[in-house]
């Protein structure tokens, strides 16, 4: 700037190549103070303008009004995104309309043209002569060169200009270009700015920059505020909506209130069908509404919005199925994806005049679209969960058994109708704590003793236990006891944590009475049958022995008597089993404990079984010759007989049955409060025990059947083989009475091994 001897505007006076001295208008000496005052007045006025567009326009007009030597002005604004200058406002340029329109879209890079130089160098740049102007045009990029050549042709040859950089601190705001177009055609006097006035112009430029910056910030704040208000309105609409259609109607109303557009539609996507369904609409022609009730995404006007999740803003097109909208006088559309976590759940369509793009601010609408998308996804999830809940309720209520669900505290959250009836409840006592249940329902064990809280069915399931047929007494509505059979299991979250429990129960009072009557009948029948059967067996054995001792024994008679003896023995065993069951029930079955060596005992059992198992090989594998335990030899013999005879019964001929005997030591972790007389009193004690196993190569037992094997009267294979289904039940009871355990390991089509243990007490 210092290189200029005269100011640019002054030079416009001085350099008039085609005019004679007489033609030149007289420059009137202007009082710089007056100009300064005028510029300060404009600045003061500009500060009060809050609208950015108005401010920019005011800057370019006021500067022309205030400075007699300025007849045209352009305000270039710096665009951070592109790093260049764009025309934000201009005034007083006598350009033809096409050139003027091109100028509006022109962009100058930093350093390009006089404004670019001014921006880059942060200094005032003056173009004083046409030559200088031409030189600058030469250095423009080709596209701009053509435009500025055009401008140069249309503006007077006497054009001179000054570019004032607009900056706030280090931040570039733009460039204010002031132009002197030469003397007016009416010959009126005009004023140059003196050389000294450049500093005044720079000061003015700084004030303008600060004012623009302030207004930009204000505009930004306003738009943030509008965005927040929009969010607020949408969030309110979302939170007050009662269902999905209400939600969509309110959202569309809110959006149409934010954007000055009166036509819109909200469409929901069904991803499985790849179809859109109209959810809400406003201001659309009836025929168009009919056509978009439900339509495929493929070929739809908003297809790419659904596919790529990006908004689109374009003129309405007949070939995109928007003929009806065009006929209704609409010209443009904006489609916005409604996204839930990146997934398109719907589309918002806005329709308006050709100026729709001026009104639709995608930066505000996109986050709104996400908000609405999430709300739609949530409502859908909620509605789906309600449907599932209704289904679940229907299923649960159709179950004849009582079903109750409780939370992790044991408080009821759901009870089906059967449960309500069985528990004589009119309404579910939702808040009731577990500790009050014993008294509330009069829950007792089968002996009539009140159940401790931890033994309540709910508590057992909540502790992680899965149980079946847990029988307890409940005080019925009539005051009489009812026997309930409970089955229960914990309800676990995905993490595996127990978050509640499910308990199913039924009233077995009547069936238990029947069961008792049956047991009593069987006990009486067995008792009455035993004596005659024992007599028959004695005589059958006697006759068999006599027949065998005769020299002329008839083989057929021997065979007949053998079968008679075996069958009667089998019948006696069944009768004995029935009697044992009734003795157990009556608590009359005591053990005669004595020291017994298991090895010869097992050998005897095998010897007894061999005649009845001529086609099986019975093998004994003891790991020592002696294995002493304290037990009732009669009952243990019964257990072994039962296991071996089962192995014979349920495995094919010509296979081996192996009985193993061994001793082992196991670590017993003592539970708090445990009082097992057979377990050493010390915590985590080591216990010695005898382990007896009976293995066969039979058909095996499925996992389902294994769960029931030791139940009373259970028979896995149906009625094909003889038996009552009591052998394993009694075996288990006898082993438990000895403080041992019994279990089975079986692989289908490979065979089964039954194990039982007896504690060894020194």
Q: Per rule CB under 6 A, is residue 742 in the interface with ligand ADP?
A: no
Q: Which residue has the tokens 């004679």?
A: 20
Q: Which of 156, 369, 727, 739 binds ligand ADP (CB under 6 A)?
A: 727
Classify each residue of 622-639 as buried b or exposed e, where b means 16 or more C-beta atoms within 10 Å of its C-beta.
beeeebbbbbbbebbbbb
- Closest residue to ligand ADP, Cβ-based? 723
Stretch of residues binding ligand ADP (CB under 6 A), selected from 34-42, 435-443, 619-627, 707-715 = 707-715
Burial of 579 from C-beta contacts in 10 A (0-12 / 13-18 / 19+): middle
Supply the DSSP string of 537-558, one letter for each residue: HHHHHHHHHHHHHSTT--HHHH
Strand partners, 348: 266, 336
Judged by CB, which is closer to ligand ADP: 182, or 700? 700
Q: Is 728 in the site for ligand ADP (CB under 6 A)?
A: yes
Instruction: Name the residue among 271, 261, 268 with its Cα closest to residue 313.
Output: 261
By the rule CB under 6 A, 660 interacts with ligand ADP: no
- With CA atoms as reference, report the closest residue to 371 among 233, 512, 559: 233
The residue (of 338 and 726) whose beta carbon lies closer to ligand ADP is 726
In angstroms, what is the minimal distance from the CB of 533 to ligand ADP? 17
| Both structure tokens of 263 | 């036509």
Looking at beta carbons only, is 303 or 585 nearer to ligand ADP? 585
Rounded Cα–Cα distance for residues 730 and 578 (Å): 10
The reply on whether position 570 binds ligand ADP by CB under 6 A is: no
CB nearer to ligand ADP: give 245 or 705.
Answer: 705
Binding flag, residue 756, ligand ADP (CB under 6 A): no
As given in the structure block, the two tokens for residue 401 are: 């058994």
- Using CB under 6 A as the binding rule, whether residue 732 contacts ligand ADP is answered as no
Answer yes or no: are the C-beta atoms of 126 and 8 closer than 8 Å. yes
β-strands 171-180, 160-168 pairing:
antiparallel
DSSP E strands: which ranges in 216-374?
263-270, 275-282, 294-296, 312-315, 332-340, 343-352
Beta carbon of residue 573, minimum distance to ligand ADP (angstroms, whole number): 9
With respect to ligand ADP, which residue has the nearer C-beta, 534 or 724? Answer: 724
> Which residue's CB is nearer to ligand ADP, number 191 or number 638?
638
Least separation in angstroms between residue 714's CB and ligand ADP is 6
- Ranges of H-type helices in 294-361: 303-308, 323-327, 356-359
- Does 10 participate in binding ligand ADP (rule CB under 6 A)? no
Q: In whole angstroms, how close is the CB of 647 to ligand ADP at the nearest point? A: 5
| Identity of the residue, 104 or 702, whose beta carbon is nearer to ligand ADP in the bound complex | 702
Residues 628-647 close enough to bind ligand ADP by CB under 6 A: 642, 646-647
Q: What x/- string results for residues 106 through 135 when contact with ligand ADP is judged by CB under 6 A? A: ------------------------------
**659 contacts ligand ADP (rule: CB under 6 A):** no
Kindly tell me which residue out of 83, 257, 260, 717 binds ligand ADP, with binding defined by CB under 6 A: 717
Q: Which of 419, 413, 384, 370 is nearest to 399 (CA)?
A: 419
Strand, helix or coil at 81?
A: coil
Stretch that binds ligand ADP, among 231-239, 350-358, 593-601, 711-719 (CB under 6 A): 711-719
Is residue 725 involved in binding ligand ADP (CB under 6 A)? yes
How far apart (Å, rounded) are the C-alpha atoms in residues 63 and 161? 13
Q: Which one, 324 or 573, has the nearer CB to ligand ADP? A: 573
Strand order of the sheet with strand 84-91?
107-109, 84-91, 72-79, 171-180, 160-168, 125-127
Backbone Cα Rg of the chain: 51
Rounded CA gap, 594 and 634, in Å?
A: 10
Distances 368 to 233, 253, 312, 379, 736 between C-alpha atoms, Å: 10, 13, 15, 16, 70
Stretch that binds ligand ADP, among 72-80, 194-202, 227-235, 719-727 (CB under 6 A): 719-727
When binding is defined by CB under 6 A, the residue of 331, 529, 558, 724 that contacts ligand ADP is 724
Does residue 151 bind ligand ADP (CB under 6 A)? no
Shortest distance, position 650 Cβ to ligand ADP, whole Å? 3
Using rule CB under 6 A, residue 612 touches ligand ADP: no
For 355, the 3-state DSSP assignment is coil
State yes or no: residue 698 binds ligand ADP (CB under 6 A): yes
Of positions 324, 715, 732, 738, contacts ligand ADP by CB under 6 A = 715
* Cβ neighbours for 421, distance < 8 A, ≥ 6 positions apart: 402
Total residues binding ligand ADP (CB under 6 A) = 20
User: Exactly one of 375, 598, 701, 758 binds ligand ADP (CB under 6 A); which one?
Assistant: 701
* Contact positions vs ligand ADP (CB under 6 A): 642, 646-647, 650, 696, 698, 701, 709, 714-717, 723-729, 752
């Amino acid at each position: 700037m210092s290189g200029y001897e005269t100011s640019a505007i002054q030079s416009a006076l001085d350099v008039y190549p085609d005019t004679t001295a007489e033609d030149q208008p007289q420059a009137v000496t202007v009082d710089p103070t007056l100009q300064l005052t005028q510029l300060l007045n404009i600045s003061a006025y500009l500060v009060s303008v809050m609208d950015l567009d108005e401010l920019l326009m005011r800057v370019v007009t006021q500067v022309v009004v205030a400075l007699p030597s300025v007849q045209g002005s352009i305000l270039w604004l710096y665009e951070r995104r592109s790093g260049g200058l764009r025309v934000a406002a201009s005034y007083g340029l006598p350009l033809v309309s096409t050139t003027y329109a091109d100028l509006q879209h022109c962009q100058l890079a930093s350093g390009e043209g006089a404004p670019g130089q001014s921006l880059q160098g942060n200094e005032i740049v003056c173009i004083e002569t046409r030559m200088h102007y031409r030189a600058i045009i030469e250095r423009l990029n080709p596209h701009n060169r053509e435009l500025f050549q055009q401008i140069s042709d249309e503006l007077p040859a006497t054009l001179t200009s000054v570019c004032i950089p607009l900056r706030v601190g280090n931040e570039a705001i733009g460039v204010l270009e002031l132009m002197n177009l030469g003397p007016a055609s009416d010959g009126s006097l005009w004023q140059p700015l003196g050389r000294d006035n450049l500093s005044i112009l720079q000061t003015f430029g700084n004030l303008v920059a600060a004012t623009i910056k302030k207004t930009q910030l204000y505009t930004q704040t306003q738009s943030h505020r509008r965005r927040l208000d929009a969010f607020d309105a949408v969030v309110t609409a979302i939170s007050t909506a009662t269902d999905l259609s209400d939600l969509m109607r309110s959202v569309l109303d809110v959006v149409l209130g934010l954007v000055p557009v009166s036509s819109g539609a909200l469409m929901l996507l069904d991803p499985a069908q790849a179809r859109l369904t109209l959810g809400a609409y406003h201001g659309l022609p009836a025929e168009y509404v009919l056509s978009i009730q439900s339509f495929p995404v493929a070929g739809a006007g908003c297809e790419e919005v659904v596919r790529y999740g990006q908004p689109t803003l374009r003129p309405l097109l007949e070939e995109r199925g928007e003929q009806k909208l065009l006929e209704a006088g609409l010209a443009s559309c904006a489609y916005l994806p409604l996204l839930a976590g990146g997934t398109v759940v719907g589309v918002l369509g806005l329709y308006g005049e050709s100026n729709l793009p001026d009104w639709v601010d995608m930066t505000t609408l996109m986050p709104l679209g996400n908000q609405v998308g999430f709300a739609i996804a949530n409502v859908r999830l909620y509605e789906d969960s309600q449907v599932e809940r209704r289904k679940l309720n229907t299923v649960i209520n159709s179950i004849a058994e009582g079903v109750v669900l409780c939370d992790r505290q044991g408080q009821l959250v759901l009870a089906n109708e059967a449960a309500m009836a069985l528990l004589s409840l009119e309404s579910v006592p939702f808040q009731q704590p577990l500790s009050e249940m014993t008294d509330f329902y009069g829950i007792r064990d089968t002996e009539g003793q009140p159940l401790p809280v931890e033994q309540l069915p709910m508590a057992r399931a909540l502790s992680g236990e899965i149980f079946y047929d847990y029988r307890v007494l409940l005080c019925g509505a009539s005051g009489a006891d009812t026997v309930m059979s409970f089955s229960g299991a914990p309800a676990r979250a995905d993490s595996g944590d127990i978050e509640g429990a499910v308990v199913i129960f039924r009233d077995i009072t009547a069936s238990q009475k029947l069961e008792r009557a049956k047991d009593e009948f069987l006990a009486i029948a067995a008792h009455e049958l035993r004596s005659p059967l024992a007599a028959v067996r004695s005589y059958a054995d006697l006759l068999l022995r006599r027949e065998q001792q005769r020299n002329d024994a008839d083989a057929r008679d021997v065979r007949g008597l053998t079968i008679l003896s075996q069958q009667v023995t089998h019948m006696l065993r069944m009768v004995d089993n029935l009697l044992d069951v009734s003795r157990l029930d009556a608590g009359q079955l005591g053990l005669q404990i004595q020291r017994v060596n298991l090895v010869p005992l097992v050998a005897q059992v095998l010897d007894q079984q061999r005649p009845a198992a001529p086609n099986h090989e019975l093998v004994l594998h003891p790991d020592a010759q002696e294995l002493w335990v304290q037990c009732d030899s009669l009952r243990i013999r019964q257990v072994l007989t039962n296991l071996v005879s089962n192995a014979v019964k349920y495995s094919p001929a010509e296979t081996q049955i192996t009985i193993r005997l061994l001793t082992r030591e196991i670590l017993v972790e003592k539970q708090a409060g445990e009082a097992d007389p057979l377990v050493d009193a010390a915590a985590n004690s080591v216990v010695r025990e005898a382990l007896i196993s009976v293995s066969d190569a039979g058909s095996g037992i499925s996992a389902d059947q294994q769960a029931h094997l030791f139940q009373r009267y259970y028979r896995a294979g149906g009625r094909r083989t003889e038996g009552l289904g009591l052998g394993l039940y009694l075996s288990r009871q006898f082993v438990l009475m000895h403080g041992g355990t019994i279990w089975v390991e079986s692989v289908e089509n490979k065979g089964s091994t039954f194990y039982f243990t007896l504690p060894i007490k020194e």
